[in-house]
Amino acid sequence: MKRIDVLDLPEDARDLVRECEAKGTRTLFERNGRPVAVLVSHDEYLALRETIEIANDSLLFARLASADEETQGSAGVPPAGTPAVRNLERIVLSSMAGESLEELAGVTRRRALSSLARINLDPICGAPLFEPLKGLWSYRTEELRIIYKIRAEARMVVILSIDRLRL
């Protein structure tokens, strides 16, 4: 990917980048009335890439649907069989996420628990995904991807998946 320092751009282009970064404004570039490029924030770009990657993984997509269905309990009460993580009052694990967490060992497990603690404190620290995964969030570390759903009415975060990334 080609890289350009924002400070090397003309002032009007820097204004577009500043607006994109601060407000999430998208800018469509055209040539002869035809769209040729879109300026989006880096966070939105990463969320779009993440959505495409997850949506194209048919096995993960099916597992997420199953985990989401499993965790559709009544508001405010974790569904039966979905344990809360000790000391993380908002976090509820789907059985799939719980099994994945149990399989992790050593440093990776500590990183997963640290990530869950961060999500517990700030549920919007991850990236919101786009259609067809709208309503789900993804939080990534170097080696893990945690996919979750925020249930604001119940003040809980349902962890649907914890997966090791292929490095």
User: Which distant-in-sequence residues (6+ apart) come within 8 Å of 91 by Cβ?
Assistant: 84, 85, 116, 119, 120, 156, 157, 159
Find where tokens 């990463």 sit: 46
Tell me the residue ranges of DSSP E strands in the chain.
27-31, 34-39, 91-93, 127-128, 136-140, 144-151, 156-164
Cα–Cα distance, 99 to 112 (Å, whole number): 13
The pLDDT tens digits of the residues spanning 94-146 come to 888 988 888 998 899 999 999 999 999 999 999 999 999 999 999 999 899 99
Residue 76: which region, alpha, beta or left (left: phi > 0; alpha: psi -120 to 50)? left
The pLDDT tens digits of the residues spanning 4-24 come to 999 999 999 999 999 999 999
The pLDDT tens digits of the residues spanning 20-73 come to 999 999 999 999 999 999 999 999 999 999 999 999 999 999 999 999 888 886
Q: What is the mean pLDDT of residues 153-161?
A: 90
Instruction: Please choose, from the candidates 59, 60, 61, 81, the residue with its C-alpha nearest in 3D space to the C-alpha of residue 70.
Output: 81
Domain at 58-164, CATH class: alpha beta
Any idea where the domains of the chain sit in the sequence? 6-39, 58-164
Whether the pLDDT of residue 167 is over 90: the answer is: no
Instruction: Please choose, from the candidates 50, 73, 18, the residue with its C-alpha nearest in 3D space to the C-alpha of residue 126.
Output: 50
**158: how many CB neighbours lie within 10 A of its CB?**
26
